[in-house]
Amino acid sequence: MDTTKGKQPGVTLRDGTAHIQVWAPLAEAVSLHAYQPDVEVELAKDEHGYWCGKSDQLHDGQKYHFRVDGRMLPDPASRSQPEGVHGPSAVLDISYDWTDYDFRPPHPRDLIIYELHVGTFSQQGNFDGVIERLPYLKALGINAIEIMPVSQFPGERNWGYDGVFSFAVQYSYGGAGALQRLVDACHKHGIAVVLDVVYNHFGPEGNYLPAFGPYFTDKYQTPWGQAVNYDDAWNVGIRDFVVENVRMWFRDFHIDALRLDAVHAIRDFSPSHILQDIRRATDHLIKQKDRPYYLFVECDLNDRRFLEPLEKNGFAIDAQWLDEFHHALRVSIGEQRIGYYREFEPVSHLAKAYHTAYVFDGTFSSHRKKFFGSSAEGLAGERFIVFSQNHDQVGNRMLGERSSMLYTADVQRLAAMAVLVSPFIPLLFMGEEWAAKTPFLYFVSHSDNKLIKAVQEGRRAEFADFHHEGDVPDPQSESTFERSILNWNEIAEEPHKRILAYYQALIQLRTSNQVLKNYNRRDLRIDYEAQKQSIVLTMTHEASVLLCVLNFSTSNQTFPLPHGKWTKIWDSADARWGGRSVSPHQCQGELPVTALSGAIYQHD
């Protein structure tokens, strides 16, 4: 596959002419039928199953269908679905007067990422609602936002992983133009934009792809049914489709990085994996535009091949989410060890995650009942993204509880510190920084009654063992969605105001201290004491040394200090954060650390 040449699917306007292309390899006749005024454009069959044509009779905003062997269908590569997933597509001119040409995203090692869901981030529930809060995010110390998927999904309430029109921006969020406005505004504030995209499955409602061709295959089964057809007969259509979608987000929306959802669920045994094609296309665009674009993935395989360069037949992904750091951290702060948490050991596995990234790096996994994972030796810390909360880990709880609803303030401060002193890329989940009390629940707004019932019953079955906690919130109910909208009034109230100040100061320390800002895993010594339930991190950069103690026990602990005088530069139990610290400003010989807290000392 030539990843340097784009096959722009759908209807694209260039110099007043509509260029039309749709992949339907098994069809006998394909045309485009537009409305108001009615226009019929017959398409000619090109190589590899593409149907192509041009017209100067189509205009911006005009609605249309493709007629495939007599059946009227929305465009699978539609840029706009103003009437939802079942309505006609609309021609859309996505050109935009950008003002961000001097912007360059931070290097991954410098990122402070803030994950958000557009629909619940603000009362407006759209891109403009995010724009209004950019000064707040900038003041917090955020230099990258990660937006949950925005490709058109059914209805107006969804996490975004039920998207069925990969090229169309969710209409209820404001559509393509509003997303471009948001990206431009982010860049003006010095904030990069990461967009979550889904290439491992398509949503169950409004998915018209099978009517056009073999976009799916029975060769494999996935949690969502048929697998996307990346390596079976007639796979050219979906491979071109996905690679061009990547190009579109980078080229036409100025997105800085893509986060590819659950790539472990992609089934592809082609000589060139679809992720390698995506990498090559991205590299070509980097060279062409003379600016960086990054690829991040969610992957639970602990397989370093995803991060290895193309020259080693790797996928050359820039960074991956490190769920195992999250799991080890959560059991260290008291998470109940059930389900996949059962096999994680408090403190010791968190210490291992700091040192080796992957906790299971070829060792036996009792949850999977097999030896699992590979070594991450030699992979820099900036290749991994860590967090104490994210949309999955909050929203996949039955009641959508954030850490603020599960743990005391001192535990929340300790967890945040564990993330922000790590040698990895830190990520926050919206509202975490002020201990928001609103839950983040699972919600949908389907129109198919059978599907609605299936989702409701599936959710109840998933949490059958938790009936003592109450009823499972109805995903279809509008109130479930409304309960998940952030309450921004909280940030002016205590204790939210204090925890927000804590996060702001901690991020400032991370980004300004020369050791925290620059050290890497090779410069990190990790010691842990199971009896004290504590981890001691010794960080070095050039001639500077920091000692960071994380005390996960419910008792004050004392630790021996290396020779010399040490001065405190951070204490999560400081009185200004509402704590009661036992750690002195300066000390020698030994260091007392408050229960459920962390302290950082600098060698004088």
- The strand pairing partners of 228, in sequence order, are 216
**Shortest CA distance to 387 belongs to which of 364, 410, 353?**
353
392 is in an annotated binding site: yes
396 is in an annotated binding site: yes
Residues 344 and 327: their CA atoms lie apart, in Å, by 7
Using DSSP bridges, classify how beta strands 63-68 and 89-90 pair: parallel, antiparallel or unpaired.
Answer: antiparallel
Please report which helix (H) or strand (E) contains residue 349, including its range: helix 348-356
389 is in an annotated binding site: no
3-state secondary structure of 16: coil
Give the number of residues written for the chain: 604
Q: What 8-state DSSP symbol labels residue 483?
A: H
Residues 317 and 274: their CA atoms lie apart, in Å, by 12
List 261, 343, 382, 571, catalytic entry? 261
Instruction: For 90-146, give the DSSP string.
Output: E----------TT--PPPGGG--EEEE-HHHHSSS-SHHHHHHTHHHHHHHT--EEE
List 162, 231, 240, 298, catalytic entry? 298
117 is in an annotated binding site: no
273 is in an annotated binding site: no
86 is in an annotated binding site: no
Residues 544 and 603: their CA atoms lie apart, in Å, by 7
264 is in an annotated binding site: yes
Residues 351 and 400: their CA atoms lie apart, in Å, by 28
323 is in an annotated binding site: yes
Positive/negative CA dihedral, 590, 594, 599, 604 = negative
324 is in an annotated binding site: yes
Instruction: For 229-248, give the DSSP string.
Output: -SSSTT-HHHHHHHHHHHHH
CB 589 within 8 A of CB 581: no
User: CA distances (Å), 201 to each of 266, 370, 524, 603, in order?
Assistant: 8, 27, 39, 52
- The strand pairing partners of 73, in sequence order, are 66
- How far does Cα 544 stand from its chain's mean position? 34
Cβ neighbours, 10 Å, residue 437: 14
Q: Is 261 a catalytic residue?
A: yes
Please name the residues in contact with 482: beta carbons below 8 A apart, sequence gap of 6 or more. none
262 is in an annotated binding site: yes
User: CA distances (Å), 233 to each of 5, 25, 219, 265, in order?
Assistant: 22, 11, 10, 19
CB 299 within 8 A of CB 334: no
Residues 448 and 204: their CA atoms lie apart, in Å, by 10
236 is in an annotated binding site: no
395 is in an annotated binding site: yes
**Shortest CA distance to 3 belongs to which of 201, 242, 168?**
242
To which residue do tokens 């200004």 refer?
A: 576
CB 193 within 8 A of CB 180: no
Instruction: For 296-347, give the DSSP string.
Output: EE---S--GGGTS-GGGT----SEEE-HHHHHHHHHHTT----GGGTTPPTT
Using DSSP bridges, classify how beta strands 319-321 and 294-297 pair: parallel, antiparallel or unpaired.
Answer: parallel
CB 130 within 8 A of CB 145: yes
Residues 495 and 576: their CA atoms lie apart, in Å, by 12
Q: Is 256 a catalytic residue?
A: no
Instruction: State the binding site for substrate.
Output: 259-264, 323-327, 391-396
Catalytic site positions: 261, 298
Instruction: State the binding site.
Output: 259-264, 323-327, 391-396
